[in-house]
Amino acid sequence: MPTELILPLDVPTREAARPLLKQLEGTVPWMKVGLQMFTAFGTDWVREVADHGYQVFLDLKLHDIPNTVAKTVESLSTLPIHMLTIHTSGGHSMVVAACAAQRESKPDLQLLGVTVLTSINASELQGVGVPDSPATQVSRLAQMGHDAGLTGFVCSPLEVGALRRDLSAGVQLVTPGVRPVGADHGDQARVMTPADAARAGSTHIVVGRPITQAADPTAAAQAIIAELASA
Ligand code: C5P
């Protein structure tokens, strides 16, 4: 199965998002709704995105005590979503509780574990009491999350190879930090091309600005999808 494209709806208003939803319908299979839009426009917005035919990746990065995360997963299970993120750093019991709630309330929902945020460097990690390198901590949290029942993770394309080696074959790996050749990197420091991310083992890539800021977003998305198909 070719690596699939996810577009993050990183816009402040529904008015800014709606033309993109309309234009990319039938081309882009997935839309990512993050904290910004979910906080402002709530569950109705998730339903509106899904009504266009998109699969919705709800990126809320849940992190709380096990009972609260499990109940939140249960509450969200009434929504038309296909992916949802939790922080693996919430610990083994939290991940177990989240996975149990997901299996019980929405078996077709793919829970994804976030390991170390890419904004965290070695010195920030030390500041929260972790003396290891970010790469070591990513592997540790992914292994722990996998042991606790997670079958998918969000990671940098540069971490995909290690996670592919360490975790079971069917694991879903969703990677932002992807840029087509020649595209502006924006604030993404360490990037891979769509084809390289696919070859490394990403099952999904998240690409935003190279599509949303293109003169022709549909053509930009189609070019990325073609690159993924031929990788
Ligand atoms: O526009 P761009 O392609 O950089 O968007 C990437 C998306 O992926 C944004 O929504 C960003 O917040 C998200 N993301 C990321 N790096 C991570 C996790 C999420 O770029 N490590």
Kind plus residue range of the DSSP H or E element containing 105: helix 92-105
Structure tokens given for 201: 């083992």
- The pLDDT mean for the chain works out to 95
Q: Is the pLDDT of residue 202 over 80?
A: yes
**Residue 18: which residues within 8 A CB-CB, separation 6 or more?**
none
Kindly give the distance from the C-alpha atom of residue 175 to the centroid of ligand 1, in angstroms, as a whole number. Answer: 9
pLDDT in tens, 43-84: 999 999 999 999 999 999 999 999 999 999 999 999 999 999
pLDDT in tens, 24-39: 999 999 999 999 999 9
Distance from Cα 207 to the centre of ligand 1, integer Å: 7
| Span 126-153, pLDDT tens digits | 999 999 999 999 999 999 999 999 999 9
Helix or strand or coil: residue 83?
A: strand
- For the Cβ of 74 lying below 6 angstroms from any atom of ligand 1, the answer is no
Measured by CA distance, the residue closest to atom 5 of ligand 1 is: 208
The set of residues, in sequence order, having a beta carbon less than 8 Å from that of 164 and lying 6+ positions away, is 171, 173, 200, 201
What does the pLDDT read at residue 57? 98
Ligand 1 proximity of 8 Cβ (cutoff 6 Å): yes
Give percent of the chain above pLDDT 70: 100
Cα 20 to ligand 1 centroid, rounded to whole Å: 17
Phi, psi of 151 (to 5 degrees): -115, 15
208 lines ligand 1 (CB under 6 A): yes
Res. 90: pLDDT tops 80: yes
Active site positions, annotated: 61
Dist. CA 208–CA 10, nearest whole Å: 8
